[in-house]
A and B are shown apart, each in its own frame.
Chain A
């Protein structure tokens, strides 16, 4: 009946609506058997066969074309072997070289948050550093606004870094000998901006992250979250079009991390930048990423929206980010359904304004309508409810039922409902054999239970 507290602190209970708008499912409908889970035997995609989300409205901002990074003295030999499909171990044995990034090709669109995800050692941080050439690529082209950065002279590269790119680091990398303000002004300072102007712009950036009162403090007087806000302000002060973030929130504790993710999304909504975000955390990637690239042993194994990654993982490795596919085969909908949604009891004389007020107070868009016997009647949204009330119907709840909501059955396996939960804009209700409402499953509930089950 009442709203239960969320099982785990993690920011908003509902999935970020942004992931819904930006969800394009390339070829999703064209697949022969869209409802089936991809077979575990699906081989890792061949280097050229990486699924790319090609049709997005935004223009391409950063394009990687067959990018390799080899650590060692004989990169050409190693790349030649890698192209023949030899494994990392064979290449290491034969040439003494390590493949850091293997034939990465994908596009990053202007204004999107693009998350590069993978386990440590998968090459994700290396890939990020190839973009601003903190690490020199061994082969391939990296185009930013159509310009190949791998061919830039040292001078042009410095100009590009000052003008178009900024970076945020895992351990903040604030210079301890400078004040917060001078740290924030660092990029402008090296670019030769006069002191008065750079301080004004750095101050504006600090205001943007809520740290203006700390401008004259030293970084070591700040907490981790505040330090990373300074890191963010430093990156934003020069108003770059590309923001590179290397595990930027990984060193922060979970609450602060969620706060910083919200902060990033808010900043992004105010001023859209192209953000390349490296993370090893699925929750984080799902939460902030418009699209996600998953890396394994230096290969980019899948690029897609969060929903695509969840519903159509390219291989077992990608699936393993949900910790364990078996859980989805074992748990049933009733196991993870939670009464986190507002429920409205249908009875004579119920007042729509009171219902709307409860939705507003609990910060929910939708509510479940049940009878006195707890039988599921339907799901309403604040909008549909308000509309039905305006029409003056005698039974406003029934009129307001959302048409496209089909309740999940309590005995459905998670693997069977995963796709529907992922694609639904709302948490889905779960009912038992007697049509009684048991609770709802949201995307975050689903992911958390998949994630937690192996802890």
Chain B
């Protein structure tokens, strides 16, 4: 029996070369656009004084999660500064934010299209499966070939790897909106667009937010891997640790990634829940229970018989 060797690898090579030969100007355009976003985000985050950013994150944590988490956030970020990893962490954060932004820009409309059409869903689903199960490193090769080394191919590889959850959960969330809500929307005269914006998306929001949260977490893991093609950030620290077999450096980089992951996860998760008030968070921090009590009062009583 002869060994079979189907030329699938060659076909992939040919496809990449074809794109390189014919679409280089397009690729350059895309690269320039992405570079603009990632670079300016990075410049802002690295440029801002650390205390300003720490204060902003602490406030956000207080508003969305609670005062204990806020204290944790300040302590954890101070630790990062102490390890002298602050600029690298800001680079990583800017990459994550940029990649997540692009993933949402593409992913949410794609999810909506899937929810509206079984045909689109039928086509998109296996592609998403492929994107998600393909080993993350594989994306690095074409990304580097198309866009060279640096933050741009890193961002693109990250977008591809991290996009599936937001697409899937947008689709799922929209499809799971209770049919009586849809009927109510239609019965009161919604156009398809109004139905989407006023009924479906608000009701699918927890699911969509869960998708965004997942996408952010995947982005973070991919951004670390993307340091292999020069994306920079905390991934570089980890990579250095690996290359030099320097456990200490690797551990510091890894710890910083964990801190960033926890902060991003807790804060973005909270957006899927009911929105607490900023003052409620502040009062809770001061040990006052007044806010909760006054909310209870509003619920009591029964309307008078008309």
Tell yes or no: B37 within 8 A of A by CB.
Answer: no
Binds B, one of A183-191, A408-416, A434-442: A183-191
Question: Would you give the 0/1 interface string for A167-178, flagging 1 where the beta carbon is closer than 8 Å to chain B?
Answer: 101110101111
Neighbour of B198 across the interface among A163, A189, A238, CB < 8 A: A189
**Bound-state Cα–Cα, A158 to B192, Å:** 10
**Bound-state Cα–Cα, A163 to B189, Å:** 9
Tell yes or no: A325 within 8 A of B by CB.
Answer: no
Tell yes or no: A161 within 8 A of B by CB.
Answer: yes
Which single residue of chain B is at the shortest CB-CB distance from A178? B202
Question: Would you give the 0/1 interface string for A135-175, flagging 1 where the beta carbon is closer than 8 Å to chain B?
Answer: 00000000000000000000000111111011101110101
Which single residue of chain B is at the shortest CB-CB distance from A234? B188
> B187 contacts A134, CB within 8 Å?
yes
Question: Would you give the 0/1 interface string for B166-188, flagging 1 where the beta carbon is closer than 8 Å to chain A?
Answer: 00000000000010110111111
- Which of A167, A190, A191, A226 gathers the greatest number of chain B CB atoms within 10 Å? A190
CB-CB under 8 A from A211, the residues of chain B are: 303
CB-CB under 8 A from B185, the residues of chain A are: 190
Neighbour of A173 across the interface among B180, B191, B304, CB < 8 A: B180
**Bound-state Cα–Cα, A211 to B306, Å:** 9
Tell me the chain B residues, 195-223 only, with Cβ under 8 Å from chain A: 198-199, 202-203, 205
Tell yes or no: B68 within 8 A of A by CB.
Answer: no
Tell yes or no: B190 within 8 A of A by CB.
Answer: yes
> A161 contacts B189, CB within 8 Å?
yes
CB-CB under 8 A from A79, the residues of chain B are: none
Given contacts A175-B181, A226-B303, A263-B306, A190 and B190 within 8 Å (CB-CB): yes
> B189 contacts A191, CB within 8 Å?
yes
> B189 contacts A175, CB within 8 Å?
no
Neighbour of B183 across the interface among A173, A189, A214, CB < 8 A: A173
Which single residue of chain A is at the shortest CB-CB distance from B185? A190
**Bound-state Cα–Cα, A169 to B188, Å:** 12
Neighbour of B298 across the interface among A132, A169, A217, CB < 8 A: A217
Which single residue of chain B is at the shortest CB-CB distance from A155? B191
> A165 contacts B190, CB within 8 Å?
no
> A162 contacts B189, CB within 8 Å?
yes
The size of the chain A interface, using a CB distance under 8 A, is 42
**Bound-state Cα–Cα, A221 to B302, Å:** 11
CB-CB under 8 A from B203, the residues of chain A are: 175-177
Tell yes or no: B299 within 8 A of A by CB.
Answer: yes
CB-CB under 8 A from A159, the residues of chain B are: 189
In the complex, how many angstroms separate the beta carbon of B208 from the nearest chain A beta carbon? 13
> A210 contacts B299, CB within 8 Å?
no
CB-CB under 8 A from A169, the residues of chain B are: 180, 183-184
Which single residue of chain B is at the shortest CB-CB distance from A176? B203
> A210 contacts B303, CB within 8 Å?
yes
**Bound-state Cα–Cα, A167 to B184, Å:** 7
CB-CB under 8 A from A214, the residues of chain B are: 303
Neighbour of B188 across the interface among A170, A190, A221, A226, CB < 8 A: A190
**Bound-state Cα–Cα, A158 to B304, Å:** 36
Tell yes or no: B194 within 8 A of A by CB.
Answer: yes
In the complex, how many angstroms separate the beta carbon of B210 from the nearest chain A beta carbon? 16
Tell yes or no: A244 within 8 A of B by CB.
Answer: yes
Tell yes or no: A349 within 8 A of B by CB.
Answer: no
Given contacts A169-B180, A210-B304, A221-B298, A161 and B205 within 8 Å (CB-CB): no
CB-CB under 8 A from B191, the residues of chain A are: 158, 190
In the complex, how many angstroms separate the beta carbon of A284 from the nearest chain B beta carbon? 19
Tell yes or no: B290 within 8 A of A by CB.
Answer: no
Q: Summarize B's interface: helix, strand, loop or mixed.
A: helix
> A165 contacts B187, CB within 8 Å?
yes
Tell yes or no: B22 within 8 A of A by CB.
Answer: no
Which single residue of chain B is at the shortest CB-CB distance from A214? B303
CB-CB under 8 A from A190, the residues of chain B are: 185, 188-191, 194, 198
Tell me the chain B residues, 243-300 only, with Cβ under 8 Å from chain A: 298-299
**Bound-state Cα–Cα, A129 to B298, Å:** 37
> A175 contacts B199, CB within 8 Å?
yes
> A161 contacts B187, CB within 8 Å?
yes
> B303 contacts A161, CB within 8 Å?
no
Tell yes or no: A208 within 8 A of B by CB.
Answer: yes
**Bound-state Cα–Cα, A226 to B185, Å:** 20
CB-CB under 8 A from B302, the residues of chain A are: 223
CB-CB under 8 A from A209, the residues of chain B are: 306
- Which of B183, B194, B199 gathers the greatest number of chain A CB atoms within 10 Å? B183
CB-CB under 8 A from B205, the residues of chain A are: 177
**Bound-state Cα–Cα, A353 to B305, Å:** 31
Which single residue of chain A is at the shortest CB-CB distance from B191? A158
> A173 contacts B202, CB within 8 Å?
no
> B187 contacts A132, CB within 8 Å?
yes
CB-CB under 8 A from A171, the residues of chain B are: 178, 180
> B180 contacts A187, CB within 8 Å?
no
**Bound-state Cα–Cα, A395 to B35, Å:** 105
**Bound-state Cα–Cα, A428 to B222, Å:** 83
In the complex, how many angstroms separate the beta carbon of A373 from the nearest chain B beta carbon? 43
> A158 contacts B189, CB within 8 Å?
yes
CB-CB under 8 A from A244, the residues of chain B are: 187
Which single residue of chain A is at the shortest CB-CB distance from B301? A213
> B188 contacts A166, CB within 8 Å?
yes
CB-CB under 8 A from B183, the residues of chain A are: 129, 134, 167, 169, 173
Which single residue of chain B is at the shortest CB-CB distance from A169? B180
> A213 contacts B303, CB within 8 Å?
yes
In the complex, how many angstroms separate the beta carbon of A100 from the nearest chain B beta carbon? 16
> B303 contacts A187, CB within 8 Å?
no
In the complex, how many angstroms separate the beta carbon of A349 from the nearest chain B beta carbon? 41
> A210 contacts B187, CB within 8 Å?
no
In the complex, how many angstroms separate the beta carbon of A321 from the nearest chain B beta carbon? 27
**Bound-state Cα–Cα, A189 to B198, Å:** 10
CB-CB under 8 A from B180, the residues of chain A are: 169-171, 173
Tell me the chain B residues, 28-63 only, with Cβ under 8 Å from chain A: none
In the complex, how many angstroms separate the beta carbon of A189 from the nearest chain B beta carbon? 7
> A221 contacts B305, CB within 8 Å?
no
Given contacts A175-B202, A211-B303, A167 and B187 within 8 Å (CB-CB): yes
5 shortest A-B CB distances, which residue pairs? A162-B189, A210-B306, A167-B187, A161-B189, A173-B184
30 contacts between A and B (CB under 8 A): A134-B183, A158-B189, A161-B188, A165-B187, A167-B183, A167-B184, A169-B180, A171-B178, A173-B178, A173-B180, A173-B183, A173-B184, A175-B203, A177-B202, A177-B205, A178-B202, A186-B184, A186-B198, A187-B188, A190-B189, A190-B194, A210-B304, A210-B305, A210-B306, A214-B303, A217-B299, A229-B303, A238-B188, A259-B305, A266-B306
Given contacts A189-B198, A208-B306, A211-B303, 17 further A-B contacts (CB under 8 A): A134-B183, A165-B187, A167-B183, A169-B184, A170-B180, A173-B184, A175-B199, A177-B205, A186-B188, A186-B198, A187-B188, A190-B198, A209-B306, A210-B306, A234-B188, A244-B187, A266-B306
